[in-house]
Amino acid sequence: MADKTLLSEQFGPLQGVKIVSTGSLIAQPFGAELASEMGAEVIQIERPVVGDVGWRTIGVRLPTRDGGAPVATSWIQERRNVFCITLDMSKPRGRDLLLKLAARADIWMESSKPGTYAKWGLDDQTVWKANPKLVITHVSGFGQIGDPDYVGRASYDIVGQAAGGMMYQTGYPETAPTRAAPWTGDYITALFTLWSSLAGLTYARATGKGQAIDLAQYEAIHKTLGGTMLEYFQQGIVRERSGNRAQGFQPLDSFAAKDGWVVLGALGDVYDRIVRAIGLDPADPKWQSARTNLESVEGIEFDAILRGWVSERTVAEVVRIMADAKVPCSPIMTSKDMAEDSHYRSRGIHAEWEDLQVGRVKGTGIVPRFSLTPGKVVRGSPSLGYDNARVYGGLLGLAEREIEELKAAKVI
């Protein structure tokens, strides 16, 4: 590893880890950004001129201080701490620059259709010649190998949720399958991207050998379905949509109060507490039968009584009574609710920082909390190519004239 570093200070549990990230949108880059919040040095590569056009512009946008194009709130939130450069890796000089960056990295994360980088002369074996210890994490919709009809298919979050089995179970029986919002499949994949990359790094540091990780988005999503497939293979059961209700016990659902919505649940001994809290006798066999026999007369009656009890009270009243009874319960919170909530405030989850493009902003802070090596925000999201001079000049040692030539040739 080279001694040169882009970070002005060392912090967090991942200090000293260097990551090159060449994907777009969420499924791979968010994993790299999480690492940067924990002290890793992350170089995010975008295409020259156009950049990560989707994540820079999709959704609500904020005006920039210099009067340039407005920037998406998701980009501002999820590209903190990273160093953004532009590079066209399909060109020979771009290929060579990626290899130089890979030689200085611990991990290279990428998301693309299988075969894209090999077509550019950047297959795994070639990259390992530049750095045998490098962990290479390939993120794609359907994997690097498998049924030729699937490998190479394009994918988005909603496609991964559909193919991975999550979407079929999300929603209500009487409605169409619903995606989990906002981009749950992508964020799940990003978490798999980071943990698997760090697992590979642990092995590489112990043995000196890098390896490739084949992470398919639909498989990352599929991995989170609990006993769904065991149920099918062992008993032929296909899990169906059940809304917010649980399978096999009650209550676990959303309930309408006077002024909003709450969720609450009771499993095992907690069931007796909720029965008592709403004024019923938990020793009554009728209510004991209701806990698991959801569609029985008793089960339907209990659900109706509970919903009536909640509807006669405010959200705050329901939450307080259930908290006192030690029954899990929460308001269904909006952005406004979360911003004003006492627990969010006391834990300081919402924080302010200086964004490089739009100025002072407030959003979600660092998660989770480390007692000895906490993560931090050291700078905000960069504009397109913001760190070209810093990376190509300061890290790789290219002369200013050469950088200008690369820019003129649209390599960077």
- Does 159 lie in the same domain as 40? yes
186 is catalytic: yes
Contact criterion met (CB below 8 Å) for 69 and 57:
yes
- Does 180 lie in the same domain as 119? yes
Q: Which amino acid does the sequence have at 87? A: L
Question: What pLDDT was estimated at residue 293?
Answer: 86
Question: What is the rounded average pLDDT of the residues 301-324?
Answer: 97
Of the candidates 163, 166, 167, 121, the one whose C-alpha atom is nearest the C-alpha of residue 143 is 163
- Does 319 lie in the same domain as 192? no
- Does 127 lie in the same domain as 99? yes
- Does 187 lie in the same domain as 94? yes
**How do residues 210-246 score in pLDDT, each as one tens digit?**
999 999 999 999 999 999 999 999 999 999 999 998 8
- Does 289 lie in the same domain as 395? no
Question: What is the rounded average pLDDT of the residues 191-215?
Answer: 98
- Does 140 lie in the same domain as 39? yes
- Does 72 lie in the same domain as 181? yes
Q: What domain count does the chain have?
A: 2
- Does 294 lie in the same domain as 376? no
What H or E segment, with its residue span, contains residue 219?
helix 217-222
Domain boundary among 296, 329, 362: 329
- Does 187 lie in the same domain as 76? yes
> Bridge partners of 178?
none
Which residues neighbour 203 within 8 Å (Cβ) at sequence distance 6 or greater?
209, 211
Residue 2 pLDDT greater than 60, yes or no? no
Question: Inter-axis angle of helices 184-207 and 157-164, to 10 degrees?
Answer: 80
Which DSSP letter does residue 365 get? -
Residue where the block lists tokens 């959303």 = 254
**How do residues 35-52 score in pLDDT, each as one tens digit?**
999 999 999 999 999 999
Question: Is residue 210 included in any domain, yes or no?
Answer: yes
> What token pair was written down for 236?
């032929």
- Does 283 lie in the same domain as 213? no
Question: What pLDDT was estimated at residue 3?
Answer: 55
Angle at 187 between CA 16 and CA 68, to 5 degrees: 80
**How do residues 238-275 score in pLDDT, each as one tens digit?**
999 999 988 789 999 999 999 999 999 998 899 999 99
Question: Is residue 84 included in any domain, yes or no?
Answer: yes
Q: Please state the pTM of the whole predicted model.
A: 0.93
Whole domain around residue 360: which residue ranges? 18-224+349-408
Question: Is residue 394 included in any domain, yes or no?
Answer: yes
Question: Is residue 7 included in any domain, yes or no?
Answer: no
Q: What is the CATH number of the domain that holds 22?
A: 3.40.50.10540
Given the residues 88, 157, 186, 272, select the one marked as catalytic: 186
Of the candidates 374, 380, 411, 253, the one whose C-alpha atom is nearest the C-alpha of residue 10 is 374
Question: What pLDDT was estimated at residue 247?
Answer: 79
The average confidence (pLDDT) of the chain is 95
Sign of torsion, CA 170 171 177 179?
negative
CB atoms closer than 10 angstroms to residue 83: 22
Question: Is residue 237 included in any domain, yes or no?
Answer: no
Backbone angles phi, psi at 212, to 5 degrees: -100, 140
**How do residues 152-178 score in pLDDT, each as one tens digit?**
899 999 999 999 999 999 999 999 999
